[in-house]
C-alpha cells in the first residue's frame, strides 16, 4: 500500500509525541520505585480508568475480535464479555481493598496475608511466572499482531517486517525506560483517544462501502457460508437437543454457559488482575480507585467493542475466503480508507500497541524488582539503585518478548491457550480476602494444578470450554484438600491483615482480636451494587448494539435498564463514601 505524505506525517508525529512524553517525565519517574511503578499513588480516577482501558486495547484486540466474528458471529465475544462479571467484583470489592493495602505490587500482599517460607516461595514464584512466561506470551502476541498490521497495510515483506516492528519496539522501550508509570498513563490517555477515533472512523467507512447497515445485514443473510447466528448476541439453541446428547456438549450454547457460569470467577484475574491492580494502587484514594475501575468496565465492555465488530462483519462480505482471518481487519484499512485516514489508523494501531507494551514492561519489571530482586537478592540498596535495575529489566523483557512473537500465529488461539493456565486459582484469590482458613499452600496448589492440567490437556486438542470444565473443578478439589491438610495462617498474621484492610467475611477465630474501626466492604450494599452493575454494563453493551443494527425499541429499553443500574450505583456510592 502506498501511503501519502500526510499519512507518514501523522505516524511520525505520534512517534515523536511518545518520545517527548518519555523525556518530559524522566526526572520525576526516576526519584524512587513508587514513582517509577505507581506514579506515587496520586492519580485521579479518570486518568487511571482510561489507562486501564488503553492498556487492554492492544494491536491484537481488533484482530482477535475479527477472528471471533468471522468464525462464529458476534456471540463469540462472550469469551471476554463474561469477564465483566468479575470486573464488577473489582469495582465494588477489590478496588477499595487493594488501595487499603498500600502495597507496591499485588504479590507483596502474599506476605501480608500469609506468613513464613510458603508465603515467600509463593511470592517469588508468582512474580517470576507472571513477569516472564505470562508476560512473554502476552507481549509476543501483541508484537505479532502489530507485525500483521504492518505486513498487510504497508506491504512489507515477511522477511523485512521486523525492521518496522523493531522501530516501534524501540520507541515504546525508550519512553517506558525513561518515564516509568508516569509515561505509561500520560500516553495511555492520548493513545485511547487516537485508537478509539481510528476504530470508529474505519467502522463508518466500512459500512458505507457496502451500502449501509441495512445492506450489510441483507448481504450477510444472503451468503451461504455465513452462519445464521452471525448477528446474534447470544449463541443459537437448537430446539431438539438436551444435556443428554453429545451435540449439547459440543454446541456453542454450552460454550456460552461455561463462559458465564465458570470462567469469570475462576481465572487469576478474579480479584483484579496484575496490571489492573497496579492502576488501582496508583489512584489517590479508595474512591478514585473505585470510580476508575467502574469507568474502565463501562468503556471496556460497552463502548469500544462495536466498531471492531462492525468491521469484522463487513470483512465477511468483502473478503469471504481469507485463509488468515487476522488479516481481515488491516485489509479493511487498505480497502476503505482514503489518504490521511490510513495514517490515522496505522497511528491508532501504534498507539494501541505501545499502550500495552509499555504497561507489560513496567508491570513485569515491578514484579522482578519488588518481589524478587529487592525481596531476595539485594535488600538494602538505595532507591536510585533499584530504579536503574528496573530500567535494565525493562530492556531485557522487551528483547525476550520480541523473540516470543516469532512463534505465534493465531492471536485468538494464543488467548485461548493462556487463559486456562490460571484457571482454578480464581476462587482462592477471592476467598483469601474473606475467609481466614485460606493459606499460602491453597494458592500454590491451585496455581500449580491449573498450569499442569492445562499442559497435560494440550495434546488432546480439546475446545476451551471442555478444558475449563476439567481444569476448574480439578484445581478446586486439589487446593481445598491441600488447605485442610496444611496448617492455617498464624493468628497474628490474620489479625494484622484484617486490621489493615477490614474486608468483612468469615474471620471467626480472630474476630474478637480485631481492633480496626474501618468500615467493612462485603455486605448487602455490595450485592445491590453488583447486580446494578450487571444491568449497567450489559444494558449499555447490548443496547448500543441493538441501536447500531436498527432495533430501536429493544435498544432503547436496554439503555433504560442501564440507566436504572447507574442510578442505583450512584445513590449507593454516595451513601457508601459519606
Report d(CA 56, CA 301) in Å as an integer.
Answer: 11
What does the pLDDT look like over 99-144, one tens digit per residue?
A: 999 999 999 999 999 999 999 999 999 998 888 888 887 887 788 7
Coil, helix or strand for 171?
Answer: helix
How confident is residue 283, by pLDDT bands cut at 50, 70 and 90? very high
Reference 98, options 108, 83, 86, 84; nearest CA is 108
Name the grid cell of 516.
480496626
Name the grid cell of 119.
508465603
Report d(CA 20, CA 306) in Å as an integer.
Answer: 32
The answer, yes or no, to whether residue 212 has pLDDT greater than 90, is: yes
Of all residues in the chain, the percent with pLDDT exceeding 70 is: 93
Mean pLDDT of 47-56: 90
Report d(CA 519, CA 510) in Å as an integer.
Answer: 17
Confidence at residue 2, expressed as pLDDT on a 0 to 100 scale: 64
The answer, yes or no, to whether residue 191 has pLDDT greater than 50, is: yes
Helices (H), 114-159: 116-129, 135-154
Mean pLDDT of 281-285: 92
Reference 140, options 37, 52, 60, 80; nearest CA is 60
Residue with cell 480476602: 433
- Give just the sign of the alpha carbon dihedral 123, 128, 133, 134: positive
SS (H, E, C) 261-296: HHHHHHCCCCCCCHHHHHHHHHECCHHHHHHHHHHH
**Where in 125-236 does DSSP place strands (E)?**
none
Report d(CA 35, CA 20) in Å as an integer.
Answer: 19
Domains of the chain with bracketed CATH: 5-250+284-422 (1.20.1730.10)
| Chain mean pLDDT for the chain | 86
Name the grid cell of 254.
454450552
Contact 505, 489 (CB under 8 A): no
Mean pLDDT of 420-434: 88
Helices (H), 319-439: 328-336, 341-367, 383-405, 411-418, 426-434
Residue with cell 505524505: 5
DSSP state of 300: I
Confidence at residue 152, expressed as pLDDT on a 0 to 100 scale: 78
Confidence at residue 227, expressed as pLDDT on a 0 to 100 scale: 55
Task: End-to-end CA distance of the chain: give it in Å, rounded.
Answer: 58
Sequence-ordered list of residues with C-beta below 8 angstroms from that of 463, at least 6 positions apart, any chain: 250, 255
What does the pLDDT look like over 196-210, one tens digit per residue?
A: 888 999 999 999 999
Confidence at residue 228, expressed as pLDDT on a 0 to 100 scale: 59
The answer, yes or no, to whether residue 350 has pLDDT greater than 90, is: no
Name the grid cell of 509.
477465630
Contact 469, 90 (CB under 8 A): no
pTM above 0.85, yes or no: yes
Reference 329, options 538, 63, 116; nearest CA is 63
Mean pLDDT of 73-98: 92
Confidence at residue 409, expressed as pLDDT on a 0 to 100 scale: 58
The more confident residue out of 424 and 566 is: 566
Contact 43, 281 (CB under 8 A): no
Q: Which residues pair with 506 in a beta bridge?
A: 435
What does the pLDDT look like over 142-189, one tens digit per residue?
A: 887 787 777 777 777 766 667 777 777 787 788 778 778 888 888 888
What does the pLDDT look like over 4-23, one tens digit per residue?
A: 788 888 888 888 887 887 78
Could you give the C-alpha distances from 243 to 246, 248, 249, 256, 298, in angstroms and in order? 8, 6, 7, 14, 34
Q: Which residues pair with 435 in a beta bridge?
A: 506
Confidence at residue 431, expressed as pLDDT on a 0 to 100 scale: 95
The more confident residue out of 330 and 516 is: 330
The answer, yes or no, to whether residue 314 has pLDDT greater than 80, is: yes
Confidence at residue 573, expressed as pLDDT on a 0 to 100 scale: 84
Mean pLDDT of 295-319: 93
Report d(CA 172, CA 252) in Å as an integer.
Answer: 39
Report d(CA 418, CA 67) in Å as an integer.
Answer: 17
Name the grid cell of 261.
457460569
- Give just the sign of the alpha carbon dihedral 463, 464, 467, 473: negative
How confident is residue 78, by pLDDT bands cut at 50, 70 and 90? very high
Confidence at residue 43, expressed as pLDDT on a 0 to 100 scale: 92
Most confident by average pLDDT, 165-174, 218-227, 389-398:
389-398
Confidence at residue 144, expressed as pLDDT on a 0 to 100 scale: 76
What does the pLDDT look like over 457-477, one tens digit per residue?
A: 888 878 888 888 999 999 999
Confidence at residue 578, expressed as pLDDT on a 0 to 100 scale: 47
Q: What b/e string do you get for 119-136 counting C-beta neighbours within 10 Å, with b at 16 or more?
A: bbebbbbbbbbbbbebbb
Other Cβ atoms within 10 Å of 222 Cβ, number = 9
The answer, yes or no, to whether residue 412 has pLDDT greater than 70, is: no
Confidence at residue 413, expressed as pLDDT on a 0 to 100 scale: 62
Contact 202, 330 (CB under 8 A): no
With residue 353 as reference, give the H or E element that holds it: helix 341-367
Q: Hey, what's the torsion of the CAs at 62, 65, 66, 69, to 10 degrees?
A: -160
Other Cβ atoms within 10 Å of 567 Cβ, number = 12
How confident is residue 256, by pLDDT bands cut at 50, 70 and 90? very high
Name the grid cell of 192.
485511547
Contact 253, 237 (CB under 8 A): yes
- Give just the sign of the alpha carbon dihedral 419, 369, 190, 534: positive
Confidence at residue 280, expressed as pLDDT on a 0 to 100 scale: 93
Residue with cell 449499555: 540
Name the grid cell of 190.
492520548
Confidence at residue 530, expressed as pLDDT on a 0 to 100 scale: 94
Other Cβ atoms within 10 Å of 40 Cβ, number = 17
Amino acid at each position: 500500500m502506498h501511503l501519502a505524505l500526510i499519512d507518514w506525517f501523522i505516524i511520525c508525529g505520534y512517534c515523536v509525541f511518545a518520545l517527548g512524553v518519555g523525556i518530559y517525565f524522566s526526572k520525576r519517574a526516576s526519584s524512587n520505585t513508587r514513582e517509577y511503578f505507581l506514579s506515587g499513588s496520586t492519580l485521579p480516577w479518570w486518568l487511571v480508568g482510561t489507562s486501564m482501558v488503553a492498556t487492554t486495547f492492544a494491536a491484537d484486540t481488533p484482530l482477535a475480535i475479527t477472528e471471533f466474528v468471522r468464525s462464529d458471529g458476534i456471540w463469540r465475544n462472550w469469551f471476554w464479555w463474561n469477564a465483566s462479571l468479575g470486573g464488577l467484583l473489582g469495582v465494588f470489592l477489590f478496588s477499595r481493598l487493594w488501595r487499603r493495602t498500600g502495597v507496591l505490587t499485588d504479590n507483596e500482599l502474599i506476605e501480608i496475608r500469609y506468613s513464613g517460607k510458603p508465603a515467600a516461595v509463593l511470592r517469588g514464584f508468582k512474580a517470576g511466572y507472571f513477569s516472564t512466561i505470562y508476560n512473554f506470551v502476552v507481549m509476543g502476541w501483541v508484537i505479532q499482531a502489530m507485525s500483521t498490521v504492518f505486513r498487510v497495510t504497508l506491504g512489507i515483506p515477511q522477511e523485512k517486517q521486523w525492521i518496522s516492528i523493531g522501530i516501534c519496539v524501540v520507541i515504546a522501550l525508550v519512553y517506558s525506560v525513561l518515564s516509568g508509570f508516569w509515561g505509561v498513563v500520560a500516553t495511555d490517555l492520548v493513545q485511547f483517544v487516537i485508537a478509539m477515533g481510528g476504530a470508529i472512523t474505519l467502522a463508518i467507512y466500512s459500512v458505507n462501502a457496502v451500502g449501509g447497515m441495512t445492506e450489510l445485514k441483507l448481504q450477510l443473510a444472503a451468503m451461504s457460508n455465513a452462519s445464521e447466528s452471525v448477528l446474534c448476541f447470544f449463541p443459537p439453541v437448537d430446539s431438539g437437543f438436551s444435556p443428554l446428547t453429545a451435540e449439547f456438549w459440543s454446541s456453542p450454547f454450552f460454550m456460552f454457559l461455561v463462559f458465564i457460569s465458570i470462567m469469570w470467577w475462576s481465572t487469576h484475574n478474579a480479584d483484579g488482575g496484575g496490571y489492573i491492580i497496579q492502576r488501582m494502587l496508583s489512584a489517590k484514594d479508595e474512591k478514585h480507585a473505585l470510580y476508575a475501575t467502574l469507568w474502565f468496565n463501562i468503556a471496556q465492555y460497552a463502548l469500544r467493542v462495536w466498531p471492531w465488530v462492525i468491521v469484522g462483519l463487513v470483512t465477511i462480505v468483502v473478503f469471504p475466503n481469507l485463509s488468515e482471518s487476522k488479516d481481515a481487519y488491516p485489509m479493511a484499512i487498505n480497502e476503505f480508507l482514503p489518504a490521511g485516514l490510513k495514517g490515522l489508523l496505522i497511528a491508532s494501531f501504534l498507539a494501541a500497541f505501545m499502550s500495552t507494551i509499555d504497561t507489560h514492561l513496567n508491570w513485569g519489571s515491578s514484579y522482578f524488582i519488588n518481589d524478587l530482586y529487592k525481596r531476595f537478592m539485594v535488600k538494602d540498596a538505595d532507591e536510585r539503585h533499584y530504579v536503574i535495575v528496573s530500567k535494565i529489566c525493562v530492556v531485557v523483557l522487551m528483547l525476550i518478548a520480541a523473540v516470543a512473537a516469532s512463534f505465534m500465529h493465531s492471536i485468538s488461539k494464543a488467548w485461548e491457550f493462556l487463559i486456562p493456565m490460571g484457571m482454578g486459582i480464581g476462587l482462592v484469590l477471592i476467598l483469601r480476602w474473606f475467609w481466614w482458613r485460606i493459606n499460602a499452600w491453597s494458592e500454590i496448589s491451585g496455581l500449580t494444578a491449573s498450569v499442569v492440567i492445562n499442559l497435560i490437556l494440550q495434546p488432546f486438542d480439546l475446545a476451551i470450554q471442555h478444558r475449563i470444565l476439567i481444569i476448574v473443578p480439578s484445581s478446586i478439589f486439589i487446593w481445598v484438600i491441600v488447605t485442610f491438610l496444611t496448617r492455617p495462617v498464624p493468628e497474628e498474621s490474620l489479625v494484622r491483615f484484617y486490621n489493615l484492610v477490614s474486608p468483612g467475611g468469615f474471620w471467626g477465630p480472630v474476630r474478637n482480636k480485631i481492633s480496626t474501626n474501618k468500615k467493612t466492604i462485603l455486605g448487602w450494599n455490595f450485592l445491590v451494587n453488583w447486580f446494578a452493575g450487571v444491568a449497567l454494563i450489559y444494558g449499555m453493551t447490548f443496547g448500543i448494539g441493538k441501536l447500531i443494527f436498527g432495533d430501536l425499541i429493544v435498544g432503547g429499553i436496554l439503555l433504560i435498564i442501564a440507566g436504572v443500574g447507574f442510578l442505583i450505583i450512584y445513590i449507593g456510592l454516595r451513601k457508601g463514601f459519606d
